[in-house]
Structure 1
Amino acid sequence: MYHAIAERPAPATRALSVTPGAFAEQMALLGARGFTPVTTARLAYAWRTGAPLPERPVLITFDDGYEGVHRHALPVLAEHSFAATLFVSTGWLRGRYETGGAPDTMLDWDQVREVAAAGLEIGGHSHTHPQLDQLADGPLRGEAGRCREILGRELGAEPVSFAYPYGYSTRRVRRAVRAAGFAQALAVGNALACRTKGPYALERMTVRRTTGLAEFGRLVAGRGLLRSFAGDRALTKGYAVIRRARRTVTVVRTAGQGGPGGW
């Protein structure tokens, strides 16, 4: 899971950014080790139908829709003939749907169309990038549905894959994403994707600015995950308790006012 690809990212995106040089080295490592990148849609289709996958499949995904994906990542992917999936928050992209709040320079719609024309899958990442589990049912449905509607209108085909903003979801969120028409969705989890998790809770590993090439090599081989992400998992468990408490308070306050399937 990548975010911004940039030499000088905005402070808000720096930790989760990767330099163009580091990204190029990581893609070269995948090629040298015989990995074959596939799109999220292809992986999900294979797991649903039993269609074959390459011997060493890997997902390359980008969240949010930063301009550096077009400027820096796209040429590297083209050099290796690599597939990838770009998940965009439609209200963060530059253009007529822009809602503000984006933490760095984002893609515009012409660039998104160029990325799609280059063969990358374009997926949904909500409209305004909220914490979906903290929304009431109506706004939650709107975030997923509006994102899919706009992408379909702009690209000529509605997206089938979704990535949860901040990587977090609940059963209620997953139901809403499925009801909006998405066939599969990605979380974070910092673990290898596992078919038994089902199509709406596929896990990914975070690539950061501090991820060195040796560590990257271990991660894609499925080694060293506990060591690399121990701090993340501890924080995630604690934050999950906080999120559930916040949601409970919200439900109680609004109480008087007017699950996803498997493969």
Structure 2
Amino acid sequence: MTGARVPILMYHAVTADPNDATRTLSVTPEAFADQMAVLADRGLTPLTTADLAARWRSGRPLPARPVLITFDDGYEGVHRHALPALAEHGFPATLFVTTGWVRGAYDTGGGLDTMLDWRQVRALADGGVEVGGHSHTHPQLDRIDDARLRAELTRCRDIVAGELGAPPVSFAYPYGYSSRRVRTAVRGHGFAQALAVGNSLARRAQGPYALRRVTVRRTTDAEEFERLVDGRAIGRTFVRDRALTKGYALVRRARRLRRPV
């Protein structure tokens, strides 16, 4: 299945009572549990990010209907609500932690809602969740200088390694933004693969440092979720998102060109 197109689901907060900052990109615990049941009922096989990339890198076959379940940032509801639903079906997943937002010794205070603590992160890892990196303070990595970029990646990698006993091998770009410079730095810091957003299916041809994901949000109903995991009409589903992304990309590019050298 080297030409396979794989849905990589991107979640953020899983909570019944989100705040304004996380509301749009949150799902309720009930919706998340229902969505995991859909994956099981439809015979999909969840993989971790590391497993998918390793299979594509080595040429090992994928299961008949692969899917990835990923979480960004590190919200407390991933442990409280998502982990039990994952465990019910024996599903692995990948959590990308912003290490400066996890509650504990390295907390920068920037978390957008109630965040995980390191005890909960370890419990997730023990429960079959791959823990990857998502930077230390969640900046737009392609807008910061080389020194800060190195600091964001080094701090994130070293904190995860210190807390879990092994360095993370997967990374997700904050906001989905990257550049050749950022991707080179991510690779140089030992991450073997990285995820963007893109709101389309992942393919081997995208390369291991630009794999695309589809966003699951509070407005994603049962019918839309089934379309996402089946790979149907994804372009129509995210047409507004893509228009906004392209427009913002032009603004960001213009700002970069205006920056003094």
Scaled by the length of structure 1, what TM-score is found? 0.94
The alignment status of 1:173 with 2:182, answered yes or no, reads yes
**More off after superposition, 150-159 vs 138-147:** 138-147
Q: What are structure 1's unaligned runs of at least 5 residues?
A: 256-263
The alignment status of 1:157 with 2:166, answered yes or no, reads yes
Q: Distance in 1 between matches of 2:151 and 2:256?
A: 18
Residue 190 of structure 1 corresponds to 199
Contact 1:134 1:246 in 2 (8 A): no
The alignment status of 1:138 with 2:142, answered yes or no, reads no
Residue 92 of structure 1 corresponds to 101
Q: Distance in 2 between matches of 1:173 and 1:117?
A: 30
**More off after superposition, 236-245 vs 85-94:** 236-245
Runs of 4+ that moved beyond 4 A: none
Contact 1:61 1:85 in 2 (8 A): yes
Identify which of 25, 36, 57 aligns with 1:48. 57
Q: Distance in 1 between matches of 2:64 and 2:158?
A: 35
Identify which of 221, 238, 241 aligns with 2:247. 238
Residue 66 of structure 2 corresponds to 57
Q: Distance in 2 between matches of 1:24 and 1:105?
A: 20
Q: What are structure 2's unaligned runs of at least 5 residues?
A: 1-9
- 1:224 positional shift: 1.4
Contact 1:124 1:159 in 2 (8 A): yes
The alignment status of 1:22 with 2:31, answered yes or no, reads yes
- 1:247 positional shift: 2.2
- 1:249 positional shift: 2.7
Q: How big is each residue's C-alpha offset from its partner over 1:209-261, in whole Å with a ceiling of 9 and x where there is no partner?
A: 000011000111111111110001001111111111222233x1xx3xxxxxx
- 1:50 positional shift: 1.1
Contact 1:133 1:247 in 2 (8 A): no
- 1:176 positional shift: 1.0
Q: How big is each residue's C-alpha offset from its partner over 1:87-137, in whole Å with a ceiling of 9 and x where there is no partner?
A: 000000000000111110000000000000111100000000001111001
* Equivalent residues, number: 252
Residue 7 of structure 1 corresponds to 16
Residue type of the partner of 1:154? E
Q: Distance in 2 between matches of 1:144 and 1:52?
A: 31
Scaled by the length of structure 2, what TM-score is found? 0.95
Instruction: Report the aligned-residue RMSD.
Output: 0.7
Q: Distance in 1 between matches of 2:256 and 2:87?
A: 43
Q: How does 1:195-206 map to 2 (within 5 A)?
A: 195-206=204-215
More strand by share: 2
Q: Distance in 2 between matches of 1:87 and 1:249?
A: 32
Residue 116 of structure 1 corresponds to 125
Q: Distance in 1 between matches of 2:139 and 2:41?
A: 38
Q: Distance in 2 between matches of 1:144 and 1:233?
A: 28
Q: How big is each residue's C-alpha offset from its partner over 1:125-150, in whole Å with a ceiling of 9 and x where there is no partner?
A: 00000011110011011111210111
**More off after superposition, 140-149 vs 74-83:** 140-149
SS of residue in 2 equivalent to 1:9: coil
Residue 129 of structure 1 corresponds to 138
Q: Distance in 2 between matches of 1:249 and 1:181?
A: 32
- 1:52 positional shift: 2.3
Q: Distance in 2 between matches of 1:100 and 1:244?
A: 30
Residue type of the partner of 2:140? Q
Identity fraction in percent: 69
Q: Distance in 1 between matches of 2:105 and 2:256?
A: 32
